[in-house]
Amino acid sequence: MTWREYHELTKHSVESLKRSPHFLDWANMPDPFRHYEGVPVLDLPADPPVPETPALAVLDGFSGATSAPDGAAFLSQLLFHSAAISASKRVPSTGDRYALRVNPSSGNLHPTEFHFLTRGLKEWPDGLYHYRPSAHMAEQRALGNLEMKLPRSSAPIVFVLTSIAWREAWKYRDRAYRYCLHDMGHAWQALALAAQAIGCDSFALGHFPDDEVSQFCRLHEDEWPMIVVELRGGSIPLREPHACETVWYGEHANQISSERTAYPLIDGIHDATKLGNRPWRGISAAEPAPSGSGEIKLPSPASSWRAFGEVARMRRSALDFQGGMQSMTLAQLSAILAVTARPFFADFAAVRFVQLYLYIHRVDGLQPGLYRLWPERAGLERIKSGDQRVAAAGLSLGQELAGNACVAFSMIGDLERAARAHGDRGYRYVHFEAGAIGHRLYLAAEALGLGATGIGAFYDQEVHRYLNLTPEQGQVVYHFAIGYPVPDPRLGA
């Protein structure tokens, strides 16, 4: 299995969807919450303060601050604004409610788990923890000094973000690995931006020996490490470190469903993208991204003073957008695009692999059409003129939200360039980047009073044909839409 085979075999087409209809086995739906049974559980203080720095400023690279006096308060504020439950929805037919989180997830299935290692936090025992979002608590999996042997991993807080692919495969089958990677990109940015909003720097590692990290964290075999995120900074409340022997508390992770359907294609792509079995060597440099400039210069970005904490927790995916006449301003679009161009702090993101194509439906001062963003010069290049609403919705598997939005996006990933630099592992990095860009789009839209939705379902080859892409220009990896959301009556606190 290579990334090319996996990607080719998981492309959507009208024929592929007709060929293999899928019915959801509700009785065997995987539990969206992992628990470690029988381990000590540490309280994270309820209702942590809202990080007040404006969300757009954080997205623009500014750091906020925190008054958290100790480890528990700090971790509570961090996780409450990156991974916690933030709303719920009611199922109209039964009245039951289900949870929504700060980080979005394809189908709300949440394959991503947050584990973290702490060292020297004030009034907080050193050890390895797992975040339990259902109760906003930390499960203490191990106590004491644990040394993860990764370059630069001496930070006081190190997160290991993992994917449980079966949760996603239950609904999306073979294509689910792509969504796990997108979700991972969202989760990484949710964490990195929340950390920055409370005065921390983060650095993400995508290039690590998978099996060593799995063994180090004693992960259940259904759970795979994907990104390691180190946090440092003066705002983390620290004490003098002291030596302490390591004690592990039970390694019994809950079984998330009674049966698990095998998806050999997912196991195959995961194995192909692992570094575990090869001799360790550092990450290599990738060729620079192609650059250019569009004939349309973007104006100064619109501003917003909405606090990061409020924006992060209020962010929701729109089920649909109000079509009609209401448009967004070019300054709003400019602000949204600017945050996608800000650097990512990660070993795999020194150069970028994803380029944005925009289906402009209703943006003041911009004719409807298809455009390409050239971020270095903040310029748009017009590729096609005319109404794109039917095309955007049709290409997004007929989902009307992509036509009713003010602007829809195709993210084009240069998978070949990523593979030249990083081998099959590059497949992960391109999707992480797409998810991370998506997360910034969500937050910027919310800050500006708009709504957004990530769209993982699209007709791959149709998109390539419509955009007139040659294989060297890349392949579609993610869609997105931004506009005025239709209110969702099922939504509650």
Tokens found for residue 50 = 């809202």
Token match 């190190």: residue?
Answer: 158
> Closest separation between CB of residue 435 and ligand FMN, Å?
6
> Closest separation between CB of residue 177 and ligand FMN, Å?
12
Whose Cβ is closer to ligand FMN: residue 146's or residue 402's?
Answer: 402
Binding site for ligand FMN (CB under 6 A): 100-101, 104-108, 179, 182-183, 186, 316-317, 399, 453-457
Measured CA distances, 85 to 66, 77, 133, 404 (Å): 21, 13, 6, 28
* Contact assessment for residue 476 and residue 460, using Cβ atoms and an 8 Å cutoff: yes
> Closest separation between CB of residue 74 and ligand FMN, Å?
24
Whose Cβ is closer to ligand FMN: residue 177's or residue 466's?
Answer: 177
Q: How many CB atoms lie within 10 A of CB 99?
A: 16
- Coil, strand or helix at 307: strand
Q: Which residues contact 175 (CB under 8 A, 6 or more apart)?
A: 10, 12, 456
Whose Cβ is closer to ligand FMN: residue 26's or residue 471's?
Answer: 26
Residue 472's Cβ-count burial label (10 Å; 0-12, 13-18, 19+) is exposed
Tokens found for residue 64 = 């906020």
Across the chain, which distance is largest between two alpha carbons, in Å? 67
Q: Which residues contact 431 (CB under 8 A, 6 or more apart)?
A: 178, 181, 182, 184, 185, 413, 477, 478
> Closest separation between CB of residue 188 and ligand FMN, Å?
12
Measured distance CA(104)–CA(107) in Å, rounded: 9
> Closest separation between CB of residue 405 and ligand FMN, Å?
11
> Closest separation between CB of residue 104 and ligand FMN, Å?
3
Q: How many residues does the chain have?
A: 493
Whose Cβ is closer to ligand FMN: residue 139's or residue 446's?
Answer: 446
> Closest separation between CB of residue 270 and ligand FMN, Å?
17
Whose Cβ is closer to ligand FMN: residue 179's or residue 208's?
Answer: 179
Q: Which residues contact 424 (CB under 8 A, 6 or more apart)?
A: 2, 3, 269, 272, 273
> Closest separation between CB of residue 426 and ligand FMN, Å?
19
- Angle at which helix 176-197 crosses helix 264-272, to 10 degrees, equals 50
Whose Cβ is closer to ligand FMN: residue 106's or residue 163's?
Answer: 106
Nearest to 237 by CA among 93, 118, 377, 98: 118
> Closest separation between CB of residue 370 and ligand FMN, Å?
20
> Closest separation between CB of residue 400 and ligand FMN, Å?
10
> Closest separation between CB of residue 436 and ligand FMN, Å?
11
> Closest separation between CB of residue 191 and ligand FMN, Å?
15
Q: What is the DSSP string of 463-485?
A: HHHHHT--GGG-EEEEEEEEE-B
DSSP H helical ranges for 396-459: 401-404, 415-422, 425-447
> Closest separation between CB of residue 45 and ligand FMN, Å?
24
- 112-118 and 127-132 strand pairing: antiparallel
C-alpha gyration radius of the chain: 22
Measured distance CA(119)–CA(157) in Å, rounded: 7
Whose Cβ is closer to ligand FMN: residue 126's or residue 446's?
Answer: 446
Measured distance CA(278)–CA(303) in Å, rounded: 48
Measured distance CA(192)–CA(336) in Å, rounded: 18
Whose Cβ is closer to ligand FMN: residue 107's or residue 369's?
Answer: 107
Whose Cβ is closer to ligand FMN: residue 214's or residue 317's?
Answer: 317
Residue 324's Cβ-count burial label (10 Å; 0-12, 13-18, 19+) is exposed
Whose Cβ is closer to ligand FMN: residue 10's or residue 235's?
Answer: 10
Whose Cβ is closer to ligand FMN: residue 4's or residue 12's?
Answer: 12
Q: How many CB atoms lie within 10 A of CB 345?
A: 14
Whose Cβ is closer to ligand FMN: residue 108's or residue 473's?
Answer: 108
Whose Cβ is closer to ligand FMN: residue 235's or residue 388's?
Answer: 388
Token match 């293999």: residue?
Answer: 20
